[in-house]
């Protein structure tokens, strides 16, 4: 599978290497025969010729050794010593030639082994000669030792290189058989010469002579029969030899008349004359046949070399042609494929993203101009190129259609969001008016709940505007205190009662970022409340950092895995293109878009309580310190018409502190849960208008006197009805909240208490 996926150049190179290896193997198979034939000359001069000369010397020493053992005379001793010197000379010469450089190059491993064994065996002849000189052995053991050494020579003969030519191999075997018969004749001569010297057959010598004669005649007849068709010269020499015929007659006489312990029926002179002539004829026939066999190998080698040149040369030409054609074809193919690859990468990385980006900016795109057809020829690659032309045209056309579809989808979202936003703003305005007129506690509490729902609906409408790529209409000309921004965000969360706002310093947020930062914090707080148990709290705190202002939203839920944290942080820092399939992470997408708009960093990390902490780092240029911050506004500053640019006013109480459900015991409003303030007995001054310009509403100021004390309402209720909070209780709660807020802001800005601290705490200021 890896080769299937490898590069085209690698595949072509592998195929060419395989072709070259196949040619090299075929050339070597042919060359090997020529090398073997050419090596015959080296082996003939380095092995065959010296061993041919050594063989008769060993045979002659064997015969003289047996003669001396049979009749140890001075003449026999002189002849034996002279022969030993002759044998040693040829042993040294054979060792020198057989281990020469030419033989080492041409010899096989088997031939080398047999040569080493023969040389080692020849070196043991001295010890056997000492045994013979001391007459510590008999003729039979002495003959066996020389025969064993001579047998090593025939092993060398058998391992000489030959050809796979059938006729040549057959002729080689015939020559070896003829040489074996020559050795058997030499053994026969040595055996009978020793008997003649001793003048009688001793031990089993007669039986061994008869066996030797029978074996020699068998090998000779087999070899002569094969020579008839292969080597007529050797055949005529051996088959017409008078000495061999006379030797046969003499052998018959010895076998017929000889017996154990008796004298041979022939004399030594008769046997010597006939045996020497027969050995000479056999030697001439054997070595003549071997020489002619070597000469026959030369033209065979030449023919093999010619075939090698033709086969290897033509094969080499074919290989070179294949390499040239493959390289040129591969280059053309790779050039076209590279052109196709470059076009595909250009389409994927440049043209298609450029088209999508231009479509995102509202520009018109010409499909024909953006997808010009490329020419790749008319071959198979060209057909692939034509298919690619169709693919790129279809891809750009689909990209245009999809971009138009997404643009239409965003426009639809924006249109619906703008309409919903306008309706919600109108609804909030009406609710604010109704809240200002209503004095009934239960009705006012219900209006607060509806106001809170409308505020959350406004955030959902703004989510659609963010998804469409536009900017919500809410904005402020002046900066707003950071604590008010956080409170406004808490007011847009459903379970706002579970959110605790920690103290914030005298830091303000620049007006242009107030609406979006409020929206961003509301989404994070909503997630923290939603993904934590209902009995836990979510804490929101802030502090100055080196590069801006950091707001931390910490929940105490189950937390997130490392993979989810990494994916969420990636999505928040680099928000992807919105698609309907990403609705599961809608809040995080909105957070990422809003943070990207102002360069705000949002990062989620593990909380020490096991939950998750969202860190919002607002850039320094969006934050105003205490000296730059304006005088704090009233509680309803974030919804006041004087501060808002394009958003209708929102009631102060529902926006920041919606009233909770009725309870049996009086408890502080949400503002006390958001930012606890210590009770201060000092009253705030009676003011007719809020700092933002809104008139204070006096509870029951417009009611008729009989209704002002609440008697009719009290009489209409039964004892089992839940009266809820009284107007006085709500007045006391709201008044306490306003007094604490105004007093804290005033003291933070001026360092002094408000004038009129001795006023009644139960009287509200608005």
Give the SS3 label for residue 726.
coil
Give the SS3 label for residue 430.
helix
Which of 65-69, 420-424, 500-504 is the least confident region? Answer: 420-424
Helix (H) or strand (E) holding 766: none
The whole-number pLDDT of residue 613 equals: 92
The whole-number pLDDT of residue 106 equals: 73
The whole-number pLDDT of residue 376 equals: 67
Per-residue CA distances from 545 to 503, 518, 623 (Å): 16, 20, 11
Would the pLDDT of 518 be above 80?
yes
pLDDT tier for residue 83 given thresholds of 50, 70 and 90? very high
Would the pLDDT of 762 be above 50?
no
Per-residue CA distances from 160 to 43, 172, 202, 239, 756 (Å): 7, 10, 39, 27, 134
Q: Any idea what DSSP says for residue 704?
A: -
Q: Answer positive or negative: Cα dihedral of 576, 580, 581, 583.
A: positive
Q: Which residue has the higher pLDDT, 642 or 41?
A: 41
Would the pLDDT of 82 be above 60?
yes
For 376-392, the pLDDT digits (tens) are: 667 677 777 778 778 87
| pLDDT above 90: percentage of residues in the chain | 11
pLDDT tier for residue 719 given thresholds of 50, 70 and 90? very low
Q: Which residue has the higher pLDDT, 239 or 700?
A: 239
Q: Which residue has the higher pLDDT, 547 or 411?
A: 547
Would the pLDDT of 33 be above 50?
yes
Average pLDDT, the chain: 75
Would the pLDDT of 36 be above 50?
yes
The whole-number pLDDT of residue 313 equals: 76
Contacting residues for 725 by C-beta, under 8 A, at least 6 apart = 441, 442, 445, 662, 666, 733
**Both tokens assigned to 296:** 């026959």
The whole-number pLDDT of residue 525 equals: 92
The pTM assigned to this predicted structure is 0.42
The whole-number pLDDT of residue 107 equals: 78
d(CA 611, CA 597): 28
The whole-number pLDDT of residue 432 equals: 81
Per-residue CA distances from 674 to 351, 398, 407, 483 (Å): 53, 52, 41, 10
The whole-number pLDDT of residue 615 equals: 93
Instruction: Summarize the confidence of residues 679-686 as an average pLDDT.
Output: 37
For 634-679, the pLDDT digits (tens) are: 333 344 333 333 333 333 333 333 333 333 333 333 333 333 335 3
Q: Which residue has the higher pLDDT, 653 or 294?
A: 294
Compute, in degrees rounded to 10, the torsion defined by CA atoms 487, 490, 495, 501.
-60
Would the pLDDT of 410 be above 50?
yes
Would the pLDDT of 187 be above 80?
yes
Instruction: Give the chain's radius of gyration (CA, Å).
Output: 61
Per-residue CA distances from 77 to 45, 65, 191, 729 (Å): 33, 9, 18, 156
Phi-psi region for residue 407, left (φ > 0), alpha (ψ -120 to 50) or beta? alpha
d(CA 641, CA 654): 16
Which of 21-35, 481-495, 559-573 is the least confident region? Answer: 21-35
Would the pLDDT of 59 be above 80?
yes
Compute, in degrees rounded to 10, the torsion defined by CA atoms 733, 736, 741, 744.
-150
Contact between 609 and 556 (Cβ < 8 Å): yes
pLDDT tier for residue 697 given thresholds of 50, 70 and 90? low
Contacting residues for 760 by C-beta, under 8 A, at least 6 apart = 683
Residue 479 sits at φ, ψ, to 5 deg, of -70, 160
Phi-psi region for residue 721, left (φ > 0), alpha (ψ -120 to 50) or beta? beta
Give which of 113, 97, 185 is closest to 152, Cα–Cα: 113
Q: Which residue has the higher pLDDT, 643 or 93?
A: 93
Instruction: Summarize the confidence of residues 751-758 as an average pLDDT.
Output: 43
Residue 606: count other Cβ atoms within 10 Å of its Cβ: 13
Q: Which residue has the higher pLDDT, 295 or 631?
A: 295
The whole-number pLDDT of residue 724 equals: 62
Q: Answer positive or negative: Cα dihedral of 108, 109, 115, 116.
A: positive
Instruction: Summarize the confidence of residues 694-714 as an average pLDDT.
Output: 51
For 146-159, the pLDDT digits (tens) are: 999 999 888 888 88
Which of 240-249, 609-618, 668-677 is the least confident region? Answer: 668-677
d(CA 538, CA 556): 7
Give the SS3 label for residue 263.
coil
pLDDT tier for residue 230 given thresholds of 50, 70 and 90? confident
The whole-number pLDDT of residue 614 equals: 92
Would the pLDDT of 757 be above 50?
no
pLDDT tier for residue 749 given thresholds of 50, 70 and 90? low
Would the pLDDT of 627 be above 70?
no
**Both tokens assigned to 500:** 């605790």
d(CA 542, CA 65): 123
Contacting residues for 583 by C-beta, under 8 A, at least 6 apart = none
């Amino acid at each position: 599978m890896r080769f299937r996926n490898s590069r085209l150049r690698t595949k072509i190179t592998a195929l060419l290497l395989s072709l070259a290896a196949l040619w090299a193997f075929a050339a070597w198979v042919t060359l090997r025969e020529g090398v073997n034939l050419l090596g015959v000359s080296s082996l003939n001069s380095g092995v065959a010729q010296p061993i041919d000369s050594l063989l008769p010397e060993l045979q002659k020493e064997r015969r003289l050794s047996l003669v001396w053992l049979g009749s140890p005379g001075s003449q026999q001793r002189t002849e034996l010593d002279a022969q030993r010197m002759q044998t040693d000379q040829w042993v040294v010469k054979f060792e020198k030639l057989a281990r020469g450089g030419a033989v080492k190059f041409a010899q096989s491993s088997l031939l080398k082994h047999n040569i080493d064994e023969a040389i080692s065996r020849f070196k043991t002849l001295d010890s056997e000669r000492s045994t013979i000189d001391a007459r510590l052995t008999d003729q039979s053991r002495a003959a066996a030792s020389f025969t064993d050494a001579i047998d090593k020579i025939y092993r060398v003969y058998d391992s000489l290189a030959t050809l796979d030519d059938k006729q040549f191999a057959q002729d080689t075997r015939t020559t070896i058989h003829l040489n074996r018969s020559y050795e058997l004749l030499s053994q026969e001569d040595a055996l009978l010469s020793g008997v003649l010297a001793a003048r009688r057959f001793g031990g089993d010598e007669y039986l061994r002579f008869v066996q030797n004669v029978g074996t020699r005649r068998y090998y000779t007849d087999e070899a002569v029969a094969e020579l008839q068709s292969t080597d007529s010269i050797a055949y005529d020499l051996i088959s017409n030899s008078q000495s061999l015929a006379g030797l046969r007659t003499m052998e018959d006489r010895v076998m017929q008349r000889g017996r154990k312990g008796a004298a041979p029926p022939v004399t030594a002179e008769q046997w010597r004359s006939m045996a020497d002539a027969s050995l000479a004829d056999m030697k001439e026939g054997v070595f003549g046949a071997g020489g002619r066999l070597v000469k026959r190998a030369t033209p065979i080698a030449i023919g093999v070399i010619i075939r090698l040149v033709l086969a290897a040369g033509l094969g080499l030409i074919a290989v070179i042609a294949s390499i040239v054609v493959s390289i040129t074809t591969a280059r053309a193919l790779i050039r076209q494929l590279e052109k196709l690859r470059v076009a595909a990468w250009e389409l994927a990385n440049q043209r298609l993203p450029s088209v999508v980006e231009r479509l995102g900016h509202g520009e018109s795109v010409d499909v024909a101009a953006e997808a010009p057809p490329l020419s790749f020829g008319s071959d198979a690659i060209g057909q692939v190129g034509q298919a690619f032309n169709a693919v790129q045209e279809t891809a750009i056309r689909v990209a245009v259609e999809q971009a138009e579809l997404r643009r239409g989808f965003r426009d639809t979202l924006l249109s619906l969001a703008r309409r919903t936003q306008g309706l919600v703003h109108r609804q909030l305005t009406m609710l604010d008016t109704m809240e200002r007129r209503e004095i009934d506690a239960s009705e006012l509490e219900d209006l607060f709940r509806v106001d809170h729902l409308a505020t959350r609906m406004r955030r959902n409408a703004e989510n659609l505007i963010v998804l469409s790529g536009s900017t919500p209409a809410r904005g402020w000309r002046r900066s707003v205190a950071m604590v008010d921004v956080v409170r406004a965000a808490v007011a847009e969360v459903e379970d706002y009662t579970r959110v605790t706002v920690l103290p914030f310093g005298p830091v303000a947020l620049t007006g242009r970022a107030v609406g979006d930062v409020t929206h961003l914090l509301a989404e994070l707080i909503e997630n923290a409340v939603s993904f934590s148990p209902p009995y836990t709290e979510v804490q929101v705190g802030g502090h100055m950092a080196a590069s801006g202002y950091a707001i931390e939203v910490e929940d105490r839920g189950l937390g997130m895995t490392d993979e989810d944290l990494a994916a969420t942080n990636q999505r928040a820092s680099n928000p992807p293109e919105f698609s309907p399939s990403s609705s599961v992470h809608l809040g995080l997408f909105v957070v990422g878009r809003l943070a990207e708009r102002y360069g705000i960093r949002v990062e989620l990390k593990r909380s020490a309580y096991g939950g998750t902490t969202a860190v919002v780092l607002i850039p320094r240029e969006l934050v105003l310190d205490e000296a730059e911050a304006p005088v704090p506004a009233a509680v309803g500053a974030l919804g006041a018409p004087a501060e808002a640019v394009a958003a209708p006013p929102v009631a102060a109480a529902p926006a920041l502190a919606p009233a909770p459900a009725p309870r049996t015991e009086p408890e502080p409003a949400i503002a006390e849960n958001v930012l606890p303030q210590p009770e201060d007995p000092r009253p705030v001054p009676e003011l007719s208008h809020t700092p933002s310009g809104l008139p204070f509403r006096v509870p029951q100021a417009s009611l008729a006197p009989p209704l002002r004390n609440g008697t009719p309402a009290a009489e209409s209720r039964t004892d089992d009805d839940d009266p809820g909070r009284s107007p006085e209780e709500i007045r006391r709660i709201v008044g306490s909240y306003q007094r604490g807020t105004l007093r804290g802001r005033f003291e933070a800005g001026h360092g002094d208490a408000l004038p009129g601290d001795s006023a009644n705490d139960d009287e509200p200021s608005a």
